[in-house]
Structure 1
Amino acid sequence: MLMLVSVITALPIGAAEMASAEGVALPAYGDAFVDSSIGDASTLIPILASDSASHGVASLIYNGLVKYDKDLKLIGDLADSWDILNDGLKIRFYLRKGVLWHDGHPFTARDVLFTYQTMCDPKTPTAYADPFLQVQDARIIDDFTFEVTYKKPFAPALESWAISILPEHLLRGKDIVKSELARHPVGTGPYVFKSWETGAKIVLQSNHAYFEGRPYIDTYVYRVIPDSATMFLELRSGTIDRMGLTPVQYQRQTNSAYFKNNFAKYRYVSFSYTYMGYNLKNPLFQDVRVRQAISYAIDKQELIDIVLLGLGQIATGPYKPGTWAYNEAVRQYPYSPTKARELLAQAGWKDRNGDGILDRDGRPFQFTILTNIGNAQRAKCAEIIQYRLQQIGIKVNIRIIEWASFINQFINQRRFEAVILGWTISQDPDLYDIWHSGKTKPEELNFVSYSNPEVDKLLEKGRHTFNIDERRKCYFRIQEILAEEQPYTFLFVPDALPIISSRFKGIEPAPIGIDYNFIKWYVPQHQQKYVHYN
């Protein structure tokens, strides 16, 4: 599942680095885990959300039919097992028995069919419908057997059923957009919704009847803290248990004996990247030479050194380096203001009046970069890019906007010239929703309005074959085209830098990340801090 990222929290990892060792103690039930983020959730019906905050909280409330294990392999969640039949065109899921919704109602195949129908309903404003529109037939065999047949081979088919399953008995016949479940969700997951104080906190309680066993931690609290500096002060004072550190905090502010004794730090390459995207409907950015020039004018290593303090690597496309779909042999854009000026001149942009700003047809080359409040890294990137583009005669303005307004009023309505944002992507390399020309409508994810017939065909081919070598060829070629056309200037792949109170035990870093076994995290009895969290 693809998500716009408002803040980087714990993401999939390659290697982890701990600053303090865990002691050995017996697991015990109790205590609260106080998490933190700069942004509030938008809805707790996850199929309606595209932000990381909503999905992070909802992942503790709901389950899919499948999920990724610690080694990035798909395993059963609400599905006990499945058969793949008819050369991959049919999947028959055998569902867990005895699973209860949080209100005590039994989970059955009817909930799965209802979720599928809701995803396909054109009245449902979801960015994740496309995989379900590939289904030719979906049917209930019995209460605990569900079967789907696809029109043609669809490589991400199994992964798509990691989507959160919704309660049919609470949503059937109702407008999902207006449902009270958006604010008071009912799921099957390890935590049960308790309360939501908008802009402040969301509180969940452990599900004692959870089918994988009662979580050790009794209470999960999602605190909304608008800026990283305040968040860090709260971490130091002990009022929150986790945050995503900034590079400065990681490198310079958490090396004291206090932090080493009371917290564990982690560092790993995230499954995410930061980019500057262009509104390709804007005449300024319709000439590929202009986009290439801007990419040459931005020193990506400078961004990594200044913004990330070296804790990241240059991005060349939409995949994490080292993964099977990543193509390292694409066109690069090393910092070259000379090359940038040459390309701009070829595109007709010259300083004709001597004011230091390029112009064409009597109009100066200037535009505004938008990004979101609360992400200091993006704001700093915008400032550095503003300076670098000024050096080649482009005037850049910067506007920083509150996250919800940024998405709803600017991104979804295509009211922007350029944006600095980040994507976190799923394990499957299918990027149809971001790059296909058919995904440019409001609230869809190709908000830069990119269109390339060859990319469209490759995206379709890549998702409709199970042959990994054929898929790799498709995604390698897509990256070559994106590298040439630069609908985004790909900036960097950051390291994720979470820090967690060391009283929490059972954290086992793995390729998928650190949150995959959250229900097994615990605090030894003698270290527990909260009897009841208020």
Structure 2
Amino acid sequence: MLRNSRFLGAILRIKILLLSLPSIILFTFLVNFLFVGLQPKKAINQLIISSIGDASFLNPVLAQDSASSDINSLVFNGLLKYNEELILTGDLAESWEIKGGDKPQITFFLRKNVRWHDGMEFTAEDVKFTYDVIMDEKTNTVRRSDFELVEKCEVLDKYTIGITYKEPFSPGLETWTIGIIPKHRLKNRDINTDEFNRHPIGTGPFKFAEWVSDEKIVLTANDDYFEGRPYLDRIIYRIIPETSLSEIELLTGGVDYYGVIPHQYKRISKNPKLKVFRQPSFGYTYIGYNLKNDLFKDKRVRQAITHAINREEIVKFVLYGLGEVATGPYPNHMWYYDHSVEPFPYDPQRARELLSEAGWEDTDGDGVLDKGGRPFRFTLITNSGNDVRKDVGVLVQRYLKEVGIDVKLELYEWSVFLTDFINPKHFDACILGWGLGIDPDAYQIWHSSQIETGFNFISYSNPEVDKLLVAGRREYDIEKRKEIYHKFHRLIHQDQPYTFLFVPDSIPALSFKFKKVVYDQEGKRHFSDIQMTKAGLMYDVIKWYVPKGIELQQ
């Protein structure tokens, strides 16, 4: 009887507990909900950037496209960098010494106590490793030509690296602005395929956090950055391949920073929440011809095509006046640009004469020129999502039809465009643009040695141009270099391996909520408006801040 009553009592207690459990859980949930709700919402300073294309390699040794380079510049540091006045200054190198002579030497003295994002210390071994990787023939890099004149790169001590050149090399200092990569992470690894290229570790102001292909790349502030933690907590690159959608996102607050397309300029400039900046860009847009294609081997044909294209009309109606007609391989506002070079005028009749001289006639009366039974017909490709290039392509179709050339325009997604067509040289002609460095050295783009491994993907070769490019690298005197590159400019202009279309203005738009943090002489913090610098708008992004913060959205 006693055992039965104990048993029944235990059963009763279990029932009470089971009946009470939902109430206990509900009570706990309500307490936590109220506690969390009463806590102040976490504010985060973030910058959201619209990018028309996804990155390819988050590795400065391998990267070839602007999307990758933009992100790499925030994750990695070079030994040197350009300041806001376009003067080379120290980055990972605290200082340097140059010794001239037949075999110039540069000694870099590195910053101490710089940490990789995984906590390991940066040393001269990393610089030596980066150089060795670039020079390794197995590495798929276009940077090798920048370092092929290095005779010796040696570690002098933990924080000192010595560079000896085989001969004078005037762009030498600028080449060391390339991002340095970590030896401890990549030693004995296949750099071309290693997962590092999608999960990089650098020394820069921002750390890699996340990459969702064709959607976004997320960077977070480096708390241990040697110049001080950035004021922004994170930067998000949103991949938005359509410019109309980018504009909508900008106007509705979905993105904060966007490279405005010319036809959007006036409309966006009127928005009181945005500021649109404008200055000439360090680059140009062009039509590049595959010179292995028989259609384009005769320079008279290339000159004819340039005469047939109304570039002034393109600048007026496609760029809305936000740019200038280009005459050659340099932007019009740089010191080495040859102002004596006049652009080929729009002259369809002259185009027809040059084509006739090259043997192209409309023998069958179908409106398309032919030669040896082959019609003058080719495919012009460019990347989708770029309205300017698409509009240029449509106009070029019409211009060339008027002189008897049949053009088919095709657009491809950026990664496909590069991987399937440009890199393997599977194209007739393309519309592209170059973003250039500050030094006039154009060896990687135009020297014949760079056809297979460099940026000379159109296969241009001119022995006289090769000699000038080498001479320009060996000369230090500014006036003598200017003379060399003026000659180079004139030769390229006559050869027309590209139809140089225009130098566009750079017109980024930024939300007014971002300010720059500055300190006065007394050490008191203030906020100032962000200004365009010679080095670009984002030169001092580590000082950007949203004073009121913005809520972190899940």
TM-score (norm 2): 0.88
Q: CA deviation at 1:239?
A: 1.2
Separation in 1 of the partners of 2:356 and 2:509? 48
Separation in 1 of the partners of 2:120 and 2:532? 35
Q: Deviations over 1:441-486 (max 9, x none)?
A: 1x52101110000000000010011111221111101111111110
User: 2:511 pairs with 488, 501, 507, which one?
Assistant: 501
User: 2:88 pairs with 62, 74, 88, which one?
Assistant: 74
**Which 4+ stretches in 1 moved above 6 angstroms?**
none
1:516 paired to 2:523: no
The match for 1:385 is 396
Separation in 1 of the partners of 2:257 and 2:406? 39
Q: Secondary structure at the match of 1:438?
A: helix
1:59 paired to 2:76: no
Q: Secondary structure at the match of 1:309?
A: coil
Unmatched tracts of structure 1, length 5 or more: 1-28
User: 1:321 pairs with 332, 337, 359, which one?
Assistant: 332
Separation in 1 of the partners of 2:259 and 2:300? 37
The match for 1:10 is none
Separation in 2 of the partners of 1:129 and 1:196? 28
Q: Secondary structure at the match of 1:57?
A: helix
Letter paired with 1:308 = L
**What pairs up with 1:72-471 in 2 under 5 angstroms?**
72-87=86-101, 89-251=104-266, 253-256=267-270, 259-260=271-272, 262-441=273-452, 444-471=454-481
Letter paired with 1:486 = Q
Separation in 2 of the partners of 1:143 and 1:34? 38
1:474 paired to 2:489: no
The match for 1:21 is none
Q: CA deviation at 1:303?
A: 0.7
The match for 1:485 is 495
Separation in 2 of the partners of 1:335 and 1:221? 43
Separation in 2 of the partners of 1:533 and 1:95? 40
Separation in 2 of the partners of 1:408 and 1:45? 17
Q: Secondary structure at the match of 1:59?
A: helix
Unmatched tracts of structure 2, length 5 or more: 1-42, 517-529
Bigger Cα Rg? 2
Q: CA deviation at 1:272?
A: 1.1
Q: Deviations over 1:479-507 (max 9, x none)?
A: 11111110000000011111101000122
TM-score (norm 1): 0.92
Separation in 1 of the partners of 2:134 and 2:531? 34
Q: CA deviation at 1:533?
A: 4.8
Number of positions where the alignment pairs a residue of Structure 1 with one of Structure 2: 498
Separation in 2 of the partners of 1:201 and 1:241? 14
Q: CA deviation at 1:508?
A: 2.6
Root mean square deviation of aligned Cα: 1.2
Tell me the percent identity. 48
Q: CA deviation at 1:331?
A: 4.7
Q: Deviations over 1:413-456 (max 9, x none)?
A: 11111111000000001000110011111x52101110000000
Q: CA deviation at 1:30?
A: 4.2
Separation in 1 of the partners of 2:239 and 2:282? 23
Is the contact made by 1:358 and 1:393 (CA closer than 8 Å) also made in structure 2? yes
Q: Which gives a bigger RCO, structure 1 or 2 (Cα 8 Å, sep 6+)?
A: 1
Letter paired with 1:529 = I
